[in-house]
Amino acid sequence: MLLLVMFLAMLAMILINVPIAIALAISAVIGVASGGLENLISVAIEMYRGATSFSLIAIPMFVLAGAIMNAGGSLASADRDGLGAHWFREGRPRDGERRRFADLRRNLGKRGC
């Protein structure tokens, strides 16, 4: 019965153009409020279990790695500027190309990439 009430409340809010996130949140509050204190305690325990799961620890590490690569530059940014493009296509660069790569490296250093 509670599930039907929550679904109908959410559907009614969506039909009157309430944003979906707010409709879901209000429906969840209706469900938690109707369950009493036991429901609130179980919600807190499940939130703690979800936040401390081992697989979720990887997400901040990926964000940290992205921030480090953004600040320090990565092979992708060097290749975008042509710094490593020749190395991947034809092996070692010739003498004239070495000067061009040295100029690119100097320019990258000036820009702070």
| Tens digits of residue pLDDT in 24-40 | 999 988 888 887 777 77
Looking at the fold, whether 48 and 12 belong to one and the same domain comes out as yes
CA–CA gap between residue 16 and residue 19 (Å, rounded): 9
Contacts of 2 (CB under 8 A, 6+ apart): 31, 34, 35
Judgement on whether residues 66 and 107 belong to the same structural domain of the protein:
yes
Are 44 and 66 members of one domain? no
Residue 86 has pLDDT above 90, yes or no: no
Please state, rounded to an integer, the average pLDDT across all residues of the chain. Answer: 76
> Which domain covers residue 35, as residue numbers?
2-52
